[in-house]
Amino acid sequence: MEQLNTREDLLEAVRGLREDLDRVIAEVGPERMEQPGSFGPWTFKDLIAHLTGWRLVTAARLEAGLYDDEPVFPWPERFDEASDLHEINQWFYETNRDKPLDQVLAESNDTFDRVERAIAAMSEDALFEPGRFAWVSWTDEALGPAVVGGTMNHYHVEHEPDIRAWLAGD
């Protein structure tokens, strides 16, 4: 994984991810975005909404760090991120499945904008001081590298191989 030691590293990683995803979206094209069964029960549009949902979490964490506050997550309070991942993913799916494609893509872009704005506005200490926020308890890393690295891994490790295989017709 690339180094995420400076504000510019973080911004470059986020911008690179956006560019990668934009290229894949262009390659898929609108005619295949809502193809049933592309990814199990999900369409490619559903997968974009899923990635967007988790980028909302990244944005919430960064914005909380910006304002020295606790993050507010988009899912109902009854869910716990550590133990309810399947339920949260299902909630993202159900919340987004009936949205028009244009709205899903616009929301995806909006989350990238929010993440970039928060990174650009945060203090170096808020981004890079390990242990600064008690709620960053899942890692020893500082907030910036932890959430940007997690976002990168979520796409590149968990989903990109399946997307590439699907596009190749495997």
pLDDT of residue 170: 58
Report pLDDT digits (tens) over 41-96: 899 999 999 999 999 999 999 999 999 999 999 999 999 999 999 999 999 999 99
Mean pLDDT of 2-26: 95
Strand partners, 39: 42
Q: Quick one: tokens of 104?
A: 């899903």
Domain ranges of the chain: 7-168
Report pLDDT digits (tens) over 93-130: 999 999 999 999 999 999 999 999 999 999 999 999 99
Distance of alpha carbon 51 from alpha carbon 152, whole angstroms: 11
Distance of alpha carbon 130 from alpha carbon 102, whole angstroms: 38
Collapse the DSSP code of 75 into the 3-class scheme (helix H, G, I; strand E, B; otherwise coil) and give the result: coil
Strand partners, 42: 39
- 36 pLDDT higher than 90: no
Q: What is the CA radius of gyration of the chain?
A: 16
Q: What are phi and psi of 64, to 5 degrees?
A: -65, -40
Q: Which of the four pLDDT bands, split at 50, 70 and 90, describes residue 133?
A: very high
- Class (C level, CATH) for 7-168: mainly alpha
pTM of the model: 0.95
Q: Output the average pLDDT for the chain.
A: 95
Q: What are phi and psi of 39, to 5 degrees?
A: -135, 75
